[in-house]
Amino acid sequence: MRRPLIAGNWKMHTSILEAYLLVAEIGKCAAGLKDRDVILAPPNIALNAVSRVLHDSDVLLASQNVCWEEEGAFTGEISPTMVKSAGAVASIIGHSERRQIFHEDDEMINKRVLGALKFGLIPLFCIGETLEEREGEKTFEVLEAQIRKGLAGVSVEDMATTVVAYEPIWAIGTGKTATKEQAQEVHAFIRKLLAEMFGKAIADSVRILYGGSVKPDNVDELMAQPDIDGALVGGAALNAESFCRIINFK
Ligand code: PEP
């Protein structure tokens, strides 16, 4: 049985004070949820404040990206040990906004994944196709390349802790969700590929999240799919009421 996981990505939103107020609300409705994991990814500057609010809760924290080096001349980056010291246990890596806006390629994303694992962070490894790629029937080819390159060199043991997030780019922040059938089809494909690469036992235990306009009114049907183990939520994670409904999916 894979334990469901709902992750909220706040992107570049919230001041420290706003983050503090938002997490106080989310913390309340996450209390007592024993059969699922909840992870929040606030902006780095708010990680520590959020972590203090959550100190006696089961809600976990992630950074929105992470460098592969522990320290050094990497202006603007944050290291795995830094995010751990601020209270994070995981890092989102390879988000489509990093790939598209900041031109992070598969090789760099792979370095980040390996760096996170080396320092004991859980990678929330994101992949996804553009609308053009989907319409050109290239979805599976694109995802396979992202997975093979992004997870190159990851050991079977480390794959057991890694989380994959399938986020079709055309569904992120657009209000357009993949149908449950489209999402399930891709998740099953990813699991089959992971079985080829890491063995069936690992593939059966890896959590694969869906991301792309997950909302209170579509989370239940998505979570009912056999290969969808959770959600990576952007916009709806910035509203306590919406996010609370999502983490309380049925
Ligand atoms: C995301 O940023 O990962 C995301 C899925 O955003 P949204 O839920 O707003 O589509």
CATH number at residue 227: 3.20.20.70
Alpha carbons 221 and 114: distance in angstroms, whole number: 33
**Per-residue pLDDT tens digits for 113-159:** 999 999 999 999 999 999 999 999 999 999 999 999 999 999 999 99
pLDDT of residue 140: 98
Q: Find the domain containing 58 and state its range.
A: 5-247
Contact between 82 and 115 (Cβ < 8 Å): no
Alpha carbons 151 and 145: distance in angstroms, whole number: 10
Return the residue whose CA atom lies nearest to atom 8 of ligand 1: 234
**Per-residue pLDDT tens digits for 7-18:** 999 999 999 999
- CB-based burial of residue 233 (10 Å sphere; 0-12 exposed, 13-18 middle, 19+ buried)? buried
**Per-residue pLDDT tens digits for 25-42:** 999 999 989 999 999 999
* pLDDT confidence band for 249 (50 / 70 / 90): very high
77 in catalytic set: no
Catalytic choice (97, 133, 167, 187): 167
What total of structural domains would you count in the chain? 1
Cβ of 168 closer than 6 Å to ligand 1, yes or no, is no
* pLDDT confidence band for 1 (50 / 70 / 90): confident
Cβ of 46 closer than 6 Å to ligand 1, yes or no, is no
**Per-residue pLDDT tens digits for 55-103:** 889 999 999 999 999 999 999 999 999 999 999 999 999 999 999 999 9
Helix, strand, coil shares of the chain, percent, nearest 5, are 45, 15, 40
pTM of the model: 0.97
Q: How far is the CA of 174 from the centre of ligand 1 (A)?
A: 9
3-state SS, residue 76: coil
**Greatest distance between any 2 Cα atoms in the chain:** 48
Cβ of 212 closer than 6 Å to ligand 1, yes or no, is yes
Closest CA to 85 of 68, 63, 65: 63
103 in catalytic set: no
Closest CA to 50 of 94, 8, 108: 8
CB under 8 A, 24+ apart: contacts of 99-108: 100/169, 106/145, 106/146, 106/149, 106/150, 107/149
